[in-house]
Amino acid sequence: MNYIDQLSTLFALPANANLGFSEEAIFALENRLELRLPAVLKTFYRSLGRCPEMNASHNRLIDPAQQVGFSADDYLVFYEENQVVAYWGIKATDLSLDNPPVYGNYSPSAPDGEWLLDAEDLETFLLLMSISNGVLGGLTHNANSFEPLLPQTIANIEANWKEVHSSSLMPQRVFSNDFKDVICIPVDEQGNSTGILVGSCNRDAFDRLLALDVNWYFTSDDEG
């Protein structure tokens, strides 16, 4: 599966769902900025850009009709943190690439705010950001704990789920079972776990996640 199919499976999207922005909206953005968007970003906007659970449950994909534009130092800003204290963008010089790297600016109010490499390519960024939004409330069932995991719990996950990515976006390890579910394990600078966030749109898969040896701080079941 490519990352579009992986996300569609994870968020249990109907095959005929119309969750993309129109060609007209994308063309209007390109026309306004006098550029052509990287192919991967254009495809994501066109296919999944209007899925709120994926793109707005925590951090936000910026609507092409709204604030998408260039920073003063020539990064195309297309994603923002939920409290607007961080942004993600693409270097103007990388816009000719189909799948460019993505950089994060964590001090956007400072005139010399530094852009840091967060993902080697745009596909990886969009996949991991969508997963993060999912475990932070976008997926139907979700749970979290912010205690270090027991070694046997990590061993259980490594044995029964496939690692998808290690990420610098939010330093974490990401696991999944064919994208029926997802597990995010934040890690410190030494690679030690600092917690766990999980989610699924499938009840049986979620129950399997809850059966992990974890002291859950929150589960979406608590809201019912």
CATH number at residue 41: 3.40.1580.10
Say if 132 falls within a structural domain.
no
Given 126, 147, 162, the domain boundary residue is: 126
> Taking 80 as the threshold, does the pLDDT of residue 6 lie above it?
yes
Matching residue, tokens 């976006």: 169
Which tens digit of pLDDT belongs to each residue from 57-80? 999 999 998 889 999 899 999 999
Residues 94 and 198 in one domain: no
Q: How confident is the model at residue 206 (pLDDT cuts 50, 70, 90)?
A: very high
- Predicted model pTM: 0.93
Given 68, 94, 126, the domain boundary residue is: 126
Say if 133 falls within a structural domain.
no
pLDDT of residue 67: 81
Residues 61 and 88 in one domain: yes
Q: Which sign does the torsion angle of CA 123, 124, 127, 132 carry?
A: negative
Residues 105 and 154 in one domain: no
Does residue 219 contact residue 210 with C-beta atoms inside 8 Å? yes
Residues 68 and 76: their CA atoms lie apart, in Å, by 7
Which tens digit of pLDDT belongs to each residue from 8-23? 999 999 988 889 999 9
Which domain range does residue 180 map to?
139-223
Does residue 144 contact residue 137 with C-beta atoms inside 8 Å? no
Number of C-beta neighbours around residue 65 at 10 A: 12
Residues 89 and 148 in one domain: no
pLDDT of residue 56: 95
Spatial CB neighbours of 209, under 8 Å, sequence gap ≥ 6:
143, 181, 183, 198, 199, 200
Question: CA 9 → CA 104, 131, 138, 206, distances in Å?
Answer: 27, 12, 14, 14
Percent of the chain at pLDDT above 70? Answer: 95
Residues 16 and 121 in one domain: yes
Residues 89 and 48 in one domain: yes
